[in-house]
């Protein structure tokens, strides 16, 4: 009775011993996302005319657009990747990328401002090698 009862499961286990592992060693080995994966919202400010359509179409109010200040902000923690904003934008500024957004460590809102230029990188500091004295 016992041998009969464990036979099917034992066969399966034995066959699996000879197979490759079914799992990945996750942090070291990562699967690349599929081309269609809804990963994260990417924004390019160049063509945006701050019409606020995307903010109105967003079901979770993740996007805040300011017409006068010319800013466009997104809270990736609220976005549910529905792509309503992508379909709604008349100028094609918003895109859905397939790489998932890295985990957020704190609540942050990513703001873009028209005409904003990132500050120039600080000049490299050169240190004289100590002279042998």
Partner 1 sequence: MANTTLVPFGPQHPVLPEPIHLDLELEDERVVRALPSIGYVHRGLERLAEHYDFIEMAQVAERICGICSFIHGQGYCQGVESLMGVEVPPRAAYLRTLWAELSRIQSHLLWLGLAADALGYESLFQHSWRIREQVLDLIEETAGGRVIFGVCKVGGVRKDVDAELLQSVRQRIGTIRTQFAEITRIFTVDPTIQRRTRGIGYLSPEDAHHLGAVGPVARGSGIARDTRTLGYAAYGELDWEPIVEQGGDCYARCLVRIREIDQSCELIIQCIDRMPDGPIEVSVKGKRPQGEALFRLEQPRGEVCYYMHASGKKNLDRFRVRTPTFANIAPLVHMLKGCELADVPVIVLTIDPCVSCNER
Token pair belonging to 12: 């399966």
Among 70, 83, 111, 112, binds ligand SF4 (CB under 6 A): 83
Among 27, 34, 123, 129, binds partner 1 (CB under 8 A): 34
| Cα 72 versus chain centre, distance | 18
Among 14, 22, 125, 127, binds partner 1 (CB under 8 A): 22
Q: How far is the CB of 107 from ligand SF4 (least distance, A)?
A: 16
| Residues 6 or more apart in contact with residue 63 via CB below 8 angstroms | 54, 55, 72, 73, 74, 85
- Rounded to whole angstroms, the Cα distance separating 27 from 32 reads 12
Q: How far is the CB of 24 from ligand SF4 (least distance, A)?
A: 28
Q: How far is the CB of 9 from partner 1 (least distance, A)?
A: 6
Half-sphere exposure of 87 toward its Cβ, with a 13 Å CA cutoff?
Answer: 6
| Residues 6 or more apart in contact with residue 59 via CB below 8 angstroms | 80, 82, 84
User: Site map for partner 1, 55-74, x if CB under 8 A?
Assistant: --x-x---------------
Instruction: Pick one of ligand SF4, partner 1, none as the site partner of residue 1 (Cβ within 5 to 8 A by kind).
Output: partner 1
Instruction: Pick one of ligand SF4, partner 1, none as the site partner of residue 12 (Cβ within 5 to 8 A by kind).
Output: partner 1
| Residues 6 or more apart in contact with residue 48 via CB below 8 angstroms | 72, 91, 93, 114
Q: How far is the CB of 79 from partner 1 (least distance, A)?
A: 12
């Amino acid at each position: 009775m016992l041998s009969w009862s464990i036979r099917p499961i034992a066969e399966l286990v034995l066959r699996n011993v000879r197979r490759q592992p079914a799992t990945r060693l996750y942090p070291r080995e990562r699967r690349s996302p599929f081309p269609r994966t809804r990963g994260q919202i990417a924004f390019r400010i160049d063509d945006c005319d701050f019409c606020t359509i995307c903010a109105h179409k967003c079901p979770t109010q993740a996007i805040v657009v300011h017409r006068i200040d010319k800013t466009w902000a997104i809270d990736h923690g609220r976005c549910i990747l529905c792509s309503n904003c992508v379909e709604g934008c008349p100028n094609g500024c918003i895109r859905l990328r397939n790489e998932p957004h890295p985990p957020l460590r704190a609540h942050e809102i990513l703001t873009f401002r028209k005409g904003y230029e990132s500050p120039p990188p600080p000049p490299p500091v050169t240190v004289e090698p100590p002279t042998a004295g």
